[in-house]
Structure 1
Amino acid sequence: MNGRTVIERFPAGGPRGSWPAEEFARERRLEGLPAEVVMDLATDMFLVVVRSGDGGAQAAG
């Protein structure tokens, strides 16, 4: 996925007003991991990713 590592996946159809992917990414950022949320249109999922070289290998291991 172009130098990014997926650390968690969330379905796009969550309850209204709920942002579990954003909340998970925020918690990872508070831990020092530069996590961000992207949308995978092919699977209709929100992916929490880190760019390679930003600690992604440690997060996936």
Structure 2
Amino acid sequence: MTTAIGAKVLERFPAGSPRGSWPAEEYAARRRAEGEDATVVMDLESDAFLVVVPADED
């Protein structure tokens, strides 16, 4: 799945996680530890956090 801003969505997490739970940030941290440039962004339309990486420019 790709977005219009040139980023590939790796995973999406609902914004209503239990208090003190940051699953999107934890997932992105694991991906960064593996060498990927993962970032968490908020998709307001779907009320979800997206973990994205820059899209490959082929």
State if a TM-score over 0.5 links the two structures: yes
Residues 3-22 of structure 1 deviation map (CA, whole Å, 9 limit, x = unaligned) = 00000000000000000000
Query: Corresponding residue for 1:24?
Result: 27
Percent identity, please: 63
Letter aligned with residue 25 of structure 1:
A
TM-score (norm: length of structure 2): 0.88
Structure 1 residues 3-56: Cα deviation after superposition (integer angstroms, max 9, x where no partner): 0000000000000000000000000000001100000000000000001138xx
Q: TM-score, normalised by structure 1?
A: 0.84
Most deviating of 15-24 and 44-53: 44-53
Aligned length: 54
Alignment of 1:1-61 (within 5 A): 1=3, 2-53=5-56
Helix, strand or coil at the partner of 1:48: strand
| Structure (1 or 2) with the greater helix fraction | 1
CA RMSD of aligned residues (A): 1.3
* 2:45 maps to amino acid: A
